[in-house]
């Protein structure tokens, strides 16, 4: 197939080869992952995160090579009166290049949309979060698999819905990738207590405080520090409660937590384990109650910052 003279150069040829090989490899890998039911997370990383940039790089090399060839023709005086590249569909070579460009563009748009959609779901999957960086997240992933939230995807709580927090999480993930590759992440990984998305936008999508729940009995199994590690079960009757004060009964833990009251606190330490000051505001009456560590109170200027 005859193409314009500008297309015959080493850079464009290399770009075409890279793009073609990458496209074939991507289709092959997608077929393997789909029909062979392979769940290796590194295969997903290779398909959705490594191959697409290589493919785009190959495509970019094609016009770059043609542009360099155009500059070479300009310097050699082989262009004549034309100072800019032009398309003449009356010429077979131009017509072939035009139809190849249109066809490849349509294929690229469709394939890009499919791969982007799959990449989005892959990076949101539990498999990606828990096993791709398995040496780093193994303790957290193990605990997650044995937790009450084992059937809830990680991103439902850590990211939530919406493009804003999705983008924020991916930008944060860039540093996390760097930290893993350079081994500068903290050992062990601390519990994230800063910059968390408000619980109303994540937890309360499933846990609805205004839904009233009856008392629930829970048994917590502990073991004593003796030679036989004697079992020490503790049974508690938890008054979960809930409800909406505007329409009916409101009581229990949920009522005190965030339906009937506004609870504010100040922590001394980074992990928020030492809380010397708490302020509780009754939403119905407006009454404010402050609880403070009398033996070691907070300075007034720290309280004023709240």
Q: According to the model, what pLDDT value does residue 106 have? A: 83
pTM as predicted = 0.53
Residue 23 is predicted with a pLDDT of 83
pLDDT at position 95: 79
State how far the Cα of 266 lies from the Cα of 305, in Å rounded to an integer: 10
Question: What residue spans define the domains of the chain?
Answer: 5-123, 128-200, 208-246, 260-306
The whole-angstrom separation of Cα 282 and Cα 289 is 8
- The pLDDT value recorded for residue 78 is 60
111-120's contacts with Cβ under 8 Å and 24+ in sequence apart are 111/23, 111/26, 112/52, 115/26, 115/47, 115/48, 115/52, 118/47, 118/48, 119/48, 119/49, 119/52
Q: What residue ranges of the chain have pLDDT lower than 70?
A: 1-2, 4-5, 33-34, 36-45, 48, 76-86, 133-134, 193, 209-210, 212, 243-250, 254-259, 306
Q: How far apart are CA 86 and CA 47, in angstroms?
A: 37
pLDDT digits (tens, 9 = 90+) for 175-188: 877 888 788 888 87
Q: What is the 8-class DSSP label of residue 50?
A: I
Q: Average model confidence (pLDDT) for the chain?
A: 78
pLDDT of 210: 67
**Which distant-in-sequence residues (6+ apart) come within 8 Å of 74 by Cβ?**
83
């Amino acid at each position: 197939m005859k193409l314009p003279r500008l297309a015959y150069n080493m850079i464009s040829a290399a770009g075409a080869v890279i793009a073609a090989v990458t496209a074939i490899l991507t289709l092959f890998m997608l077929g393997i992952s789909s029909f062979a039911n392979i769940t290796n997370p590194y295969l997903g990383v290779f398909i959705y995160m490594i191959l697409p940039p290589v493919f785009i790089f190959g495509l970019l090399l094609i016009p770059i090579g043609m542009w360099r060839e155009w500059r070479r023709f300009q310097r050699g005086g082989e262009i004549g009166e034309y100072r800019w590249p032009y398309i003449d569909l009356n010429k077979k070579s131009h017509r072939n290049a035009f139809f190849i460009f249109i066809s490849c563009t349509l294929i690229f748009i469709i394939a890009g949309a499919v791969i982007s959609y799959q990449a989005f779901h892959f990076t949101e999957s539990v498999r990606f979060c828990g096993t791709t960086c398995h040496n780093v997240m193994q303790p957290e992933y193990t605990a997650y698999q044995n937790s009450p939230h084992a059937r809830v995807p990680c991103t439902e709580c850590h990211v939530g819905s919406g493009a804003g927090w999705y983008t924020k999480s991916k930008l944060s993930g860039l540093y996390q990738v760097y930290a893993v590759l350079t081994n500068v992440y903290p050992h062990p990984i601390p519990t994230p207590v800063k910059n968390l998305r408000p619980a109303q936008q994540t937890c309360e999508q499933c846990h609805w405080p205004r839904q009233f729940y009856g008392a629930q009995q829970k048994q917590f199994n502990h073991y004593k520090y003796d030679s036989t590690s004697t079992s020490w079960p503790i049974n508690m009757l938890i008054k979960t409660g809930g409800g909406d004060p505007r329409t009916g009964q409101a009581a229990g833990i949920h009522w005190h937590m965030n339906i009937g009251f506004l609870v504010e606190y100040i922590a001394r330490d980074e992990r928020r384990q030492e809380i010397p000051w708490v302020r509780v505001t009754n939403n119905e009456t407006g009454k404010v109650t402050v609880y403070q560590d009398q033996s070691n109170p907070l300075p007034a200027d720290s309280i004023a910052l709240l």
